[in-house]
Structure formats: C-alpha cells, structure tokens
C-alpha cells in the first residue's frame, strides 16, 4: 500500500509529472507514491523523471489502458 495515491487519469503531458512532483511533497522520505495515468507518454517520462531526480521507480505496469507507477521518495 502506497503512502499516497495520485489519480492523474485523463491528464496529458506534462501534468502527470507536475502533479506527481507536488504529491511527493506529502510523502515521507523513503515512502511511496502511486500514480495512475492514462497518458501513454507518461511511461517514458516517469522513467526519465526517476533517473533525473533520483526518486526510484519501483515498478510500473499497465492494465486496461491505465498505467500504474510506484515511486519511492529518495530525493
């Protein structure tokens, strides 16, 4: 169970990333944020976001057109 869940479904680039960054503020260090998105571009973008910021992308998956990302706040 993630510390916080962000529903970014229906939002397009760059809103899922911007909202995720904001939501990370409410996650304790070492805690996790789950993001739900429908923007296919978010897959590459969350990986790049993770590499650049150091927040670890623990897993990402897709089910029925909804992408799920789990980020660990490490930065």
Partner 1 sequence: MSEETGGNAINPHTMSIIVTKGSLDWAYPPFILSTTAAAMGLDVTMFFTFYGLPLLLKKMDLKVTPLGNAAMKMPMMGGHMVMPNLVAAIPGVDAMASKMMKNLIKKNGVASIDELRELAVEAEVRLIGCQMTMDLFDYQLEDMIDGIEVGGAATYLEVATQSHINLFI
Tokens 């930065």 -> residue:
75
Tokens representing 60 are 């990402």
Where b means 16+ CB within 10 Å and e means fewer, 4-13 reads: bebebeebee
Site string for partner 1, 31-60 (x = CB under 8 A): --------x---------x--xx-------
Among 5, 7, 13, 74, binds partner 1 (CB under 8 A): 13
Q: Is 13 considered catalytic here?
A: yes
Among 7, 26, 62, 75, binds partner 1 (CB under 8 A): 75
By annotation, the residues acting in catalysis are: 13
């Amino acid at each position: 169970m993630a510390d916080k869940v962000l529903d970014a479904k229906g939002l397009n680039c760059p809103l899922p990333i911007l909202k995720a960054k904001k939501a990370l503020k409410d996650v304790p260090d070492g805690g996790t944020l789950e993001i739900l998105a429908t923007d296919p571009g978010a897959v590459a973008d969350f990986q790049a976001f993770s590499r650049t910021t150091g927040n670890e992308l623990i897993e990402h998956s897709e089910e029925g057109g909804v992408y799920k990302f789990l980020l660990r706040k490490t930065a």
